[in-house]
Structure formats: C-alpha cells, structure tokens
Chain A
C-alpha cells in the first residue's frame, strides 16, 4: 500500500511538472501545442544517453556518456529547449490555431518515428535502459529507502517549479503573454513583439518538459517508444484542461484528478480472459469521455484563470473629468458569468455603466468650433505620408496617397467606404505591407516596420471593433498599455522583488487608477473586460491610450457601435489627448463628431486624397459632396 502511494505521488510530481510546462504554452500563450510530449521524451532520452555509459552492441545510441545525474538533467533540459526553439521558430512565425497544432503534431511525429526507427539514435524500438537509482549509490541508500528519497527529490523539484510558475504568472511578462492570447493585434499595437514573446514562452515550456522527462527516465530507469504512447499525451492534456488552463493550482488539481481517475476508475473490474487489452482500453475510453464532457460543460476547467484583483478604494481619487458616481452606484452589480472559452458570440452584456450611459451629463450646448481645445498653429508635422500604394488582386486600395498630419492637432480622415482609409491606417501602423511609398513619423521612416516597433516609437492605433483583452480585467488592460521592456523581460518575472513591484511600479498603478476614475471605469476595474458593453470597451481603449501617452494615436471609427449619447464624453477624451500632448488622427463617418473634434480634415476617395482643410470648407466642396456627403440632413 505504501509502495503504491509512493509511486503514485512520484508520478504525480513528474506529471505535475509536465503539466505546468504545457500550461505555459497552452494556457498562457494560448497555443494548442501537440509537440509537447516530444520535449518530455527528448528530455528522457537525453538524460539516459548522458548517464548510462557507452553502448554494448547490439544496442546503439548516440553519446553514451556517464555523467552524474544532476549534470545530465540540466543538459537534457537544454536539448529540449533547443528543439523547442527550432520547432517554435518555424511554427510560431505565421501559424495559429489548427494549423499550428497540425505542424507541431507533425514535428513530434517525425521525432517519434526517428526515435523508433533510426536505431543509431536512441536504439530504435528497444529504447534505452539502465538508469538505476541515480544518486542512490552516493547517498548509500538501499532499494527501499531510495523510493522515499526519489519521491522527496521529485516533490522538491516540483515545488520549485510551482514557485517559479507562480512568479512568472504574476509577473508583467506573464500578463503580456496572456494579452497575446487574448488579442494579438491589440498586443502588437501596444508594442509587444508577438513572435519573440511566444517563442520565449514556447522554449520555456519545452525546457520544463525536458526536466520532467529527465525525472521520468530515472523513475522508469528506461525509456522507449512504448512509453511514448498517445494515451500518455492525452492524459497530460486532459489534466491541464480539466484542472483549468491558465491557472497553476488548477493544473495541479487536474493532474491529481487524472492520475486518480486512471488508476482508480478500473480498479474494481475483473480481468477479461482472452482479451487482456480490455481494462487498459476502458481506462483510455474514460479519459476520452472525460475530455469530451469537460469541453462541453466546463471548458474553462475546474479552476478558471484568475485576474489581478485591485482592492483599492476609489473614494479618495479626484477624477479630472466629471464622473457620475451616483448613477454608477445605483445600478445593480449583478453581472453575467464569463462566456465559455471567451469564444462565444459576443453580446453586449448588461452592466452598471449602461445606466450611466443613458443618463445625460450636464446639459450640452450645440457643438461649435469653439468647443474644441484651442491649438496654437504649429508647423511641425508628426506624420508625413508620401505616395503610399497598396493593391489587392488587381484593385488598388490605396493609390498614390499623400498627406501631412500636424502635430498637436486632431486630424479627421473621412471618405466613402472603399476609399482606402482603413488600408492606409493598416499600412501606416505596420499591419499591412505597402507596395510602395513612404511614411515618416517624427523624422523616422517607418514604412516596412512591424507594428510593435512602430508602437514603441509612439504611434498607437485602435481598430474598427473594440479590441480590449477580454479575459483580463479592466485594470490589467490599462496597466498593459505601457510597454515596459525592463519589467516585461522574462528573467525579471522570475527574479523580481515583491509581486507588487513585479507587475508594475507604484506610480504606474496610481496613474492607472487615476485614469480609470477619469473615464468613470473605477467600479469596473476588476471586471473581466470581455463582459463590458461596446461603449464601455471603447472607453477602456481610450483609457489605455491615455495611459500609454503616445505621440500620435490613430482612432479607427471609434464611434462605431457606440451610442451617440456617449459622443460628448468621447469628444472630451479626445480633447484630453491633445492637452496631454498626443496628436490624433480619427477616421469616422459620424460627421457631427468630426466637426466637433477635428481641427483639420483629410478626405480620401478611391485610394487617394481628394481634399484637405477645415471641416467647414469641405462642406461646400462639390467633389466632396458628390463623392461622400450626398445630401447632408439638417
């Protein structure tokens, strides 16, 4: 009985390490990596060829050194990390979703076949054996006590890994990684190098797979393709899923449950004569069924991912702009539960601020030019676009487009659909590659640069639909607005000080709270951003921009899907951008809004600029009327 417990716990610790590593790639980075078990296998194989000494014919394998176990395991980790790097470099560049999974499946399959068929590598189908009780001799342990020792050793390593993961999870690196999973475009628009971040996570996960493999090799004292059966991998993935992707405690819980399930579910069944495969088959069936049922009823797992919870009291914050505390408080705090997977069709959820939205602010007089913030005439151009050209198929979406954007002003960009406005913005911000032309941002040529580099130079953009990071809290969304290269480094996540400083500087947290109060979002600061209504999500986006303090922000149809009642609040927010030194380009179809906020307007049609000037002058411009305005209602 004790023997049984000891081996179950040891297995559990090893699986736990595997699952925690997989969680980095699948839970945090959001990629369903089917190659993962390959890193475990490689770790096991490498540990063996580094410790069991030279091969006796007819066995064949590479290396065949006789290093101490504690030296071999880190080396095995390194080899898994290297393989992870190779696979990741290829697979993470352009692939997501099912295509990524298929390619990683291919990679692991190739490794599996090589290991099993190409004998000189790891002795083919017979595999490697001979790693008996590493470190046992040195400690003078007999067989019995070795079991306890090894259990303790594995548990110790497991706890170290657990602490490591907890630190990474709560670090800014971890948060940035999760934002990638939530919405890559938005992450890139705020300066995150998607490829590099995902690669780091991938290699990290692979390395821990290798570590688990090294322990596994000692536990089994051998490794061969039959230890590499698909069922092992499925159990691993099920553990992560059942327990809760993204939640470390959940993952551990999942491992516990799966191991118990595997061992105990068929305990009381008799052996079937003539078909010895029945009981293991039943076990596998149970695993398969559990997987399906969880995906159906509880895809987020038993313990869903947790967000950073800010227990700050906002009563002492002095908001810069009028907030509506009374109305916000009177609304109910009952909010719908998070959508399954975050992948269900989004619907605008009911939330306290909907009430506030529908209540007018102080009576607003008609929008006049003088409502705009007064801006001293400035000669400096913050953005110069010259001869931009982009075609799709045979059609030029952007055709010799040139314009200048003044610093310190709000410049509107209007034009009919298909005029090329959104494409032009994609080209300027790096989300599409231009065929020709140049873009100069504050004296730097940025055409051809990837979006995250452009964002780091101080050019941020929004998208036609709100792109908050839905699985993160509103506060987390705002905190991430600033790219913090120091804090976001992986090593910082591990070695940094108290969690508080780990995630963000105190001054930054204060600033975030101020901004949330300014936008009337304080009540929602811990709320899952994906649960907010369309208008609220736009406000979160504005809060992010405020936090990031870019030199130029490009707003792509910010009023889209937003009730016009919020118009004045949005306009004030844009005024706020100008005051704090951010220039603004805004694409909009809502002309009264443009009239209210824009100092200068550029009109595009059929891919190029047809008119520029103050809004009033364009109203009487015939070509603009023909192309775009039609009969403007009174």
Chain B
C-alpha cells in the first residue's frame, strides 16, 4: 500500500506538469478551434528562457517568471503571425493544423541554431525528499504541485467568474455569434493565447527542473503526452482536461514501473488511440453509435 501511495505521489507531480501543459493547449484550441501542434515548443522556449535567466541571475524566481513571460510572448506571436491569419481567411482546421506543424519545425530549428542541438543540463539545488503525509517529495516537487494548484485555481476563477471568462466561453461555442453580441473575438483569442502561453512556458520550466535536462526537441515529445491528456478530457474543455491529465499522469507513473522509460511515449500513444477509438469526444462525453451520429 505504501508503494502504491508513493507511486501515486510521483504520479501527482507528473500530473501537475501535464495538467498545466494540457489546459494551456486546450485553451488554445477553445478560442481558435485549432490543435496547435507547435504547443510543445512553447514549453521548450520556457525552459530555455528559464535556463538563460537562471545562469545570468542565479535567481530561480526570475527564471520562473521569465519562462512564463517568454511562453506568453511566443504564443502571442504564433497566434497573430500565423493562426489568426488562417482563421480570418476561413482556412479549414486541417490545413491550419498542418501549418502549426510547419511552425513547430521553424521554431525547433531556430532554437537549434541559437543553442545547438545537444542536451542541456538543468540542475537546481533541491532538498532531500521529505515526508508529506503518505507521499515523498523534494522541495522542488512540492513547489511544482503547489504552483500548479494555484495556477489552476486562478484559471478557474478567470474562466467562470469574470466577464472575460464569459467571453471566452462564448467564443468557444460560436465565434461569429459572439462577435455579433459585441465580443471582440480576435482580442479574446489573443489574450487567451497569451495566458495559455504563460502557463505553458511555466510548465516547460518545471518540466525541465523535474527531468533535469532538455533540448530543442524536448517540448515536442512531452507534447504527445499533453495531447493524450487533452483528448482524454475533451478538446476545448479546460476542467475535464485537467481531470484527464490527472488520470493520464498517474497512469503513466504506475505503468512506468513495468515498462522502461523509452517505451513510455509509445504507451501514452496507445492509451490515446484507445481513448479516441472509444470516446473521441473525451472520457466524459458519450460516443455516438454510427459514423454519422
């Protein structure tokens, strides 16, 4: 039982990082109806920004903030320079999807040019693991979980209790109807992407902390797991996405004992495939019965 709780504890750390990454992705989807395949790159940039700032100032708080700001900025650039243009021209979602793949390539390679392709070590002094209830966490891991909870709470308040959150939900349900109600859909989308980018940038920072190394490609591999969590929760729905992330994060941690790390991603994909086949609209929505329903 102790084993199980211990693993659960580690799973929660993974789930925390995953939840932030996934909710950012799903918010991006909610306001533009586009699955941003270069989402992982936001995390990568967050990690690099944190690394650079940490090396320059030695201050971890600045590094975390820098990661968030960098993430927000790059997401905003992605939105205004590419996605918004596609959306405004009425170009279909599949084509925009492919375009985000192209964007991903461009960004990854810019990072390669700037920083080289090799892995970068990111070590932060942390305390020895402490016993918190039944779980065993280092100070870093505690910070990760607490900050994830705080960010989630803030997002919850914004989405459900502010006028902006209302506008966000309206744009998600019906963009043009939202516009004729007086909502500036473009502005709402841009602000949402900036927010989502901040969350994702920060997620990149804590991921790099937690794993210890990163490279220009690390965001992309984590993105595949993010996608699993987001689809499991239901694209565009922030809170069920977090639930999905919790499930996926913990599941991965538990199976990690039985399969080696290199298979982890493949396993995540297998889960994803099964979810999509059985419940394409997410674990929490009923599936239709024929292809046409």
Residues of A with Cβ closer than 8 Å to B? Answer: 32, 90, 93-95, 97-99, 101-103, 105-107, 109-110, 113-114, 116-117, 184-185, 188, 194, 231, 234, 237, 241, 275, 277-278, 281-282, 284-285, 287-292, 295-296, 299, 340-341, 343-345, 426, 431-433, 450-451
A295 to B265, CA, bound (A): 30
Q: Is the CB of B109 within 8 A of A285?
A: yes
Q: Which of B53-110 contact A (CB under 8 A)?
A: 82, 85-86, 89-99, 101-106, 108-110
Q: Which of A90, A106, A296 counts the most chain B CB atoms within 10 A?
A: A106
Rounded to whole Å, the gap between the CB of B222 and the closest CB of chain A is 14
A116 to B108, CA, bound (A): 22
Rounded to whole Å, the gap between the CB of A393 and the closest CB of chain B is 9
Given the known A-B contacts A278-B113, A295-B99, are A288 and B266 also in contact in the complex, defined by CB atoms under 8 Å?
Answer: no
Q: Is the CB of B99 within 8 A of A292?
A: yes
CB-contact partner of B86 in A101, A194, A287, A296, under 8 A:
A296
A114 to B93, CA, bound (A): 31
Rounded to whole Å, the gap between the CB of B270 and the closest CB of chain A is 6
Q: Is the CB of B266 within 8 A of A109?
A: yes
Chain A residues within 8 Å of B231, by CB: 99, 102
Give 25 A-B contacts (CB < 8 Å), ordered by A residue.
A95-B277, A99-B231, A101-B97, A105-B224, A105-B269, A110-B270, A113-B266, A114-B266, A117-B263, A241-B98, A277-B117, A278-B112, A281-B117, A282-B113, A287-B102, A288-B101, A288-B109, A291-B102, A292-B103, A295-B99, A295-B102, A296-B91, A341-B92, A343-B94, A432-B293
**7 tightest Cβ-Cβ pairs between the two chains A and B:** A288-B105, A343-B92, A291-B102, A106-B269, A281-B109, A113-B266, A288-B106
Q: Is the CB of B289 within 8 A of A433?
A: yes
Q: Is the CB of A98 within 8 A of B290?
A: no
Q: Is the interface of B mostly helix, strand, loop or mixed?
A: helix
Chain B residues within 8 Å of A93, by CB: 277, 291
Residue B227, interface by CB 8 Å: yes
Given the known A-B contacts A98-B35, A98-B97, A117-B262, are A106 and B273 also in contact in the complex, defined by CB atoms under 8 Å?
Answer: yes
Chain B residues within 8 Å of A194, by CB: 291
Encode contact with A along B281-293: 1 for CB under 8 Å, 0 otherwise: 0000000011111
Q: Is the CB of B110 within 8 A of A98?
A: no
Given the known A-B contacts A32-B98, A99-B276, A101-B97, are A94 and B291 also in contact in the complex, defined by CB atoms under 8 Å?
Answer: yes
Encode contact with A along B250-277: 1 for CB under 8 Å, 0 otherwise: 0000000000101101100110110011
Rounded to whole Å, the gap between the CB of A119 and the closest CB of chain B is 11
Chain A residues within 8 Å of B273, by CB: 90, 102-103, 106-107
Q: Is the CB of B93 within 8 A of A97?
A: yes
9 additional A-B residue pairs with CB within 8 Å, beyond A93-B277, A113-B266, A288-B102: A105-B224, A285-B110, A292-B102, A295-B86, A295-B96, A295-B99, A296-B99, A299-B91, A343-B92
Q: Is the CB of B224 within 8 A of A109?
A: yes
The residue on B at minimum CB distance from A195 is: B291
CB-contact partner of B90 in A237, A285, A344, under 8 A:
A344
Residue B212, interface by CB 8 Å: no
The residue on B at minimum CB distance from A451 is: B292
CB-contact partner of A110 in B101, B104, B109, B269, under 8 A:
B269
A340 to B95, CA, bound (A): 10
Q: Is the CB of A296 within 8 A of B277?
A: no
Q: Is the CB of A281 within 8 A of B113?
A: yes
Chain B residues within 8 Å of A278, by CB: 112-113
The residue on B at minimum CB distance from A188 is: B292
The residue on A at minimum CB distance from B107 is: A288
CB-contact partner of A113 in B91, B262, B276, under 8 A:
B262
The residue on B at minimum CB distance from A341 is: B92
Q: Is the CB of B101 within 8 A of A291?
A: yes
Residue B116, interface by CB 8 Å: yes
Residue B46, interface by CB 8 Å: no
Given the known A-B contacts A110-B269, A113-B263, A433-B290, are A295 and B116 also in contact in the complex, defined by CB atoms under 8 Å?
Answer: no
Q: Is the CB of B91 within 8 A of A343?
A: yes
Chain A residues within 8 Å of B110, by CB: 281, 285
Residue B204, interface by CB 8 Å: no
The residue on A at minimum CB distance from B115 is: A275
Rounded to whole Å, the gap between the CB of A27 and the closest CB of chain B is 13
CB-contact partner of B112 in A281, A292, A451, under 8 A:
A281
Q: Is the CB of B89 within 8 A of A340?
A: yes
Chain B residues within 8 Å of A291, by CB: 98-99, 101-102, 105
Rounded to whole Å, the gap between the CB of A85 and the closest CB of chain B is 16
A336 to B280, CA, bound (A): 38
A114 to B260, CA, bound (A): 12
Chain B residues within 8 Å of A185, by CB: 292
A319 to B24, CA, bound (A): 61
A285 to B103, CA, bound (A): 9
Q: Which of A117, A296, A426, A451 counts the most chain B CB atoms within 10 A?
A: A296
Chain A residues within 8 Å of B104, by CB: 288
Q: Is the CB of A340 within 8 A of B109?
A: no
A101 to B289, CA, bound (A): 21
Rounded to whole Å, the gap between the CB of B160 and the closest CB of chain A is 25
Q: Is the CB of B276 within 8 A of A95?
A: yes
Q: Is the CB of B106 within 8 A of A237?
A: no
Rounded to whole Å, the gap between the CB of B293 and the closest CB of chain A is 6
A32 to B100, CA, bound (A): 14
CB-contact partner of A103 in B86, B96, B266, B276, under 8 A:
B276
Chain A residues within 8 Å of B276, by CB: 95, 99, 102-103
Chain A residues within 8 Å of B224, by CB: 105, 109
A97 to B263, CA, bound (A): 27
Chain A residues within 8 Å of B89, by CB: 296, 340
Q: Which of B35, B89, B94, B263 counts the most chain A CB atoms within 10 A?
A: B94
Chain A residues within 8 Å of B293, by CB: 432-433
The residue on B at minimum CB distance from A106 is: B269
Q: Is the CB of A289 within 8 A of B289?
A: no
Chain A residues within 8 Å of B113, by CB: 275, 277-278, 281-282
Given the known A-B contacts A98-B35, A110-B269, are A289 and B99 also in contact in the complex, defined by CB atoms under 8 Å?
Answer: no
Rounded to whole Å, the gap between the CB of B27 and the closest CB of chain A is 17
Encode contact with A along B179-208: 1 for CB under 8 Å, 0 otherwise: 000000000000000000000000000000
A459 to B112, CA, bound (A): 60
A188 to B112, CA, bound (A): 49
Q: Is the CB of A98 within 8 A of B266?
A: no
Q: Which of B91, B93, B291, B293 counts the most chain A CB atoms within 10 A?
A: B291
Given the known A-B contacts A99-B280, A289-B102, A292-B99, are A341 and B291 also in contact in the complex, defined by CB atoms under 8 Å?
Answer: no
A32 to B101, CA, bound (A): 13
Q: Is the CB of A94 within 8 A of B109?
A: no
Given the known A-B contacts A117-B263, A194-B291, A431-B290, are A299 and B101 also in contact in the complex, defined by CB atoms under 8 Å?
Answer: no
Rounded to whole Å, the gap between the CB of B26 and the closest CB of chain A is 13
A441 to B110, CA, bound (A): 64
Encode contact with A along B224-240: 1 for CB under 8 Å, 0 otherwise: 10010001000000000
Given the known A-B contacts A94-B291, A109-B265, A113-B263, are A292 and B82 also in contact in the complex, defined by CB atoms under 8 Å?
Answer: yes
Q: Which of A114, A116, A281 counts the most chain B CB atoms within 10 A?
A: A281
A494 to B112, CA, bound (A): 47
Q: Which of A277, A431, A450 counts the most chain B CB atoms within 10 A?
A: A277
Given the known A-B contacts A95-B276, A109-B224, A117-B262, are A285 and B105 also in contact in the complex, defined by CB atoms under 8 Å?
Answer: yes
A299 to B112, CA, bound (A): 29
A33 to B85, CA, bound (A): 25
The residue on B at minimum CB distance from A291 is: B102
Chain B residues within 8 Å of A295, by CB: 86, 91, 95-96, 98-99, 102
Rounded to whole Å, the gap between the CB of A408 and the closest CB of chain B is 30
A114 to B293, CA, bound (A): 36
Q: Is the CB of B269 within 8 A of A109?
A: yes
Chain B residues within 8 Å of A106, by CB: 269-270, 272-273
Q: Which of B107-165 contact A (CB under 8 A)?
A: 108-110, 112-113, 116-117
Chain B residues within 8 Å of A284, by CB: 105, 108-109
Q: Is the CB of B101 within 8 A of A234?
A: yes
Chain B residues within 8 Å of A345, by CB: 90
Chain B residues within 8 Å of A290, by CB: 102
